[in-house]
Amino acid sequence: MAIQNPNIAVIGATGAVGKVFLDLVEERNFPFNSIRLCASERSEGKQITLKGKPITVELVTEKLLSEVDMVFVSASTKVSKEICPKAASMGCIVIDDSSAFRLEPSVPLVVPEVNKIDLKNHEGIIAIPNCSTTPLVMVLNALRTIAPISRVTVDTYQSVSGTGTAAVTELKEQTANIVNNKSPEVSVYPHQIGFNLLPHIEDFLSNGYTKEEMKMSNETRKILHDDEINISATCVRVPVFTSHSESAHIEFDGPIDIETARKVLGSAEGIKVLDNPGKNIYPMPLVSTGQDEVFVGRLREDISKQNSIALWMVSDNLRKGAALNAIQIAEELIKMD
């Protein structure tokens, strides 16, 4: 298999993540021999320009999969369930953005800055975490070098691009209608998102949490190889286009001082500390959108409990939360080959 100079297929190339992925292919000069762009029938035949050359969007077929070495999938969970095992069985390396395989024991769930070592054991499919898990797990992985982490409560402020381009359009249209005193149309979400908040991301489960909230708990445990870490999340959709924000309260099994935490976060790969509140410097969606790093600020000792800290993090859900993480995994595989 040609890992060093692969033939690539991008499934979901016209979606919100797919577009960013192609930007990153150019930006990072990701090495490939050929690239095939796939999407649903709605986009079939469209032309996308990559590195100055037009590429025609195709449907994914068995023949196409037989002609590539590496497949990036960012479509629906249903599409992933269908495509990924097929591509893997045909010898492709599949990097999947869906939740379909994340908790499968045979599938590495990887954030390269945290657990690239897990890439050694893949059997064809490699999963990337949910876009709200990735920044959290990067921050926790850095901090647990100071003391073991026992518990985290975390509340999210998630942008609509996490849902997809239709949600981005809906927020824009609803907002335009509202500021023009017209009534907003509701279609993607169960309620209006313009100037509103929805404490509802993905389906509700019998324990009262949503799937999205449980992902933050289960995926974090898997990535950190730590089943003792207790995480309670509330995930909220906010009227922001891009970047997910998270407010976390982190409890440690041992002393932690804020300057050590700052130093550890500041030197962690992929994290940038933005924390000078006196000068109004802190992470915001406006700052992180289009950037690769997870931005961390509002760092402080948690006044409600010993050995605890509170912090605020923001990262681009389409980049580190999805496309960037996927391409970084591919780059690691090339390095490891």
Residues classed as catalytic: 131, 244
Site residue total, its own copies (CB under 8 A): 59
Does 282 help bind its own copies (rule: CB under 8 A)? yes
Whole-angstrom Cα distance, residue 298 to residue 296?
7
Q: Please report, as residue ranges, which positions from 55 to 114 form the binding site for its own copies (by CB under 8 A).
A: none
241 binds its own copies (CB under 8 A): yes
- DSSP code at position 296: E
Which lies closer to its own copies via its Cβ, residue 64 or residue 238? 238
Residue 29 CB-density burial (10 A; 0-12 exposed, 13-18 middle, 19+ buried): exposed
User: Which candidate, 33, 24, 29, places its Cα nearest to that of 6?
Assistant: 33
Residues 207-226 touching its own copies, rule: CB under 8 A, are: 207-210, 217
Among 247, 260, 291, 307, binds its own copies (CB under 8 A): 247
Residues 6+ apart with CB under 8 A from 260: 146
Binding of its own copies by 147 (CB under 8 A): no
Which two three-digit tokens encode residue 32? 């490939």
Fill in the DSSP letter of residue 92: -
Binding residue (CB under 8 A) for its own copies from 40, 153, 165, 307: 153
Residue of 152, 156, 134 lying closest to 228 (CA atoms): 152
CB of 193 or CB of 333, closer to its own copies: 193
Tell me the sheet residues that pair with 313.
Answer: 246, 296
Residue 295 as a binder of its own copies (CB under 8 A): the answer is no
Q: Is the dihedral of CA 303, 309, 312, 318 positive or negative?
A: negative
Closest separation between CB of residue 67 and its own copies, Å? 41
Question: Does 198 sit near its own copies (CB under 8 A)?
Answer: yes
| CB of residue 305 to its own copies, shortest distance in Å | 6
Among 34, 40, 76, 232, binds its own copies (CB under 8 A): 232
Buried b (16+ CB within 10 A) or exposed e, 134-159: bbbbbbbbbbbebbebebbebbbbbb
Site for its own copies, residues 164 to 183, rule: CB under 8 A: 172, 175-176, 179-180
Contact positions vs its own copies (CB under 8 A): 151-153, 155, 157, 172, 175-176, 179-180, 190-192, 195-200, 204, 207-210, 217, 230-232, 234, 236, 238-241, 245, 247, 249, 258, 277-278, 280, 282-286, 297-305, 308, 310, 312, 314
